[in-house]
Amino acid sequence: MARGERNRHRIARRGLMLVLSSPSGAGKTTLSRMLLKADPNIELSVSVTTRPQRRGEVDGRDYHFLGLAQFKAMVKSGKLLEWAEVFGHCYGTPRRPVEKALRAGRDVLFDIDWQGTQQLREKARDDLVSVFILPPSVSELERRLKRRAQDSHVIIGSRMAKAAGEMSHWPEYDYVIVNRDKHEAFTEVEAILAAERRKRERQVGLSAFVRALQARL
C-alpha cells in the first residue's frame, strides 16, 4: 500500500502513556533510548529535577535542571502532572507537553519511579501502560551501576541499598520484564507497545472506519 493510501486508512487513536520504572541500573534508560530511536510515534517526557547535572547529560534533553525554588513554584502553580523526591532530590513531570502529545494522538514515554507512576495512575488510569524492569541478579545490577560510573561510590552504595525497596513495587505494574539482554528486553517492550496501541478503546476512529467499510459493501 502506498504511503498516501496508508495515511488515508490510518485510524485515529488516542495517545498512550508508557511508563518504564526500575531500580537504577536495571537498564530502563538504555531501553528508553532504544525505543525513542526506533519509534517516531513516541516521545520522551523530559522531567524537571533539582539533582545536579551529570557529565554527558544535556539540559532540556535528559532533564530540565532547576533550583529548588523554581521546582516548588512549578508544584504550587500546578504545572507538574506528578512529582516525587527520589534519592534526596526532587523530580517531576511537566504537564503541558504530555497533554499536547496525547491530544495529537502521539504516545509519551516516562522514565519515572513508582511514586510518580502511582500518581499518574490516579490521574490517567485509562491512558497508562506501566512496565517494571527487573535486573537479572544483584551482581549484574552492581556491575551496571559501576560501569555507569557517573556517581560516586557513596551514591552507588546508597542506590544499591535502595534497590530492594524499589523492587518491591513490581506488583503495581501492568507488565514486568527481566532485563537479561537489552535486545531481548527491547523486543518485549516493543511487543507491549504494539499490543496496547491496538486496544479497541484507544482506537477512537474505529467506528467511523468500520462505517466507511460497510458503506462500500
Binding residues for ligand 5GP, per CB under 6 A?
Answer: 24, 47, 51, 82, 84, 86, 91-93, 111-113, 115-116
Q: How near is the Cβ of 95 to ligand 5GP at its closest, in Å?
A: 11
Residue nearest to ligand 5GP (CB): 116
CB of 92 or CB of 135, closer to ligand 5GP: 92
CA 7 to chain CA centroid, nearest Å: 27
What is the amino acid identity at position 112?
Answer: I
Q: How far, in Å, CA of 161 to CA of 25, rounded?
A: 12
Q: How near is the Cβ of 1 to ligand 5GP at its closest, in Å?
A: 39
CB of 82 or CB of 188, closer to ligand 5GP: 82
Order of strands, sheet of 48-49, starting from the edge strand that comes earlier in the sequence = 64-65, 48-49, 89-94, 80-86
Q: How near is the Cβ of 147 to ligand 5GP at its closest, in Å?
A: 14
Q: How near is the Cβ of 8 to ligand 5GP at its closest, in Å?
A: 38
Q: How far, in Å, CA of 21 to CA of 4, rounded?
A: 37
For the chain, state the CA radius of gyration: 19
CB of 159 or CB of 197, closer to ligand 5GP: 159
Q: How many CA atoms lie within 13 A of 119 on its CB side?
A: 15
CB of 42 or CB of 202, closer to ligand 5GP: 42
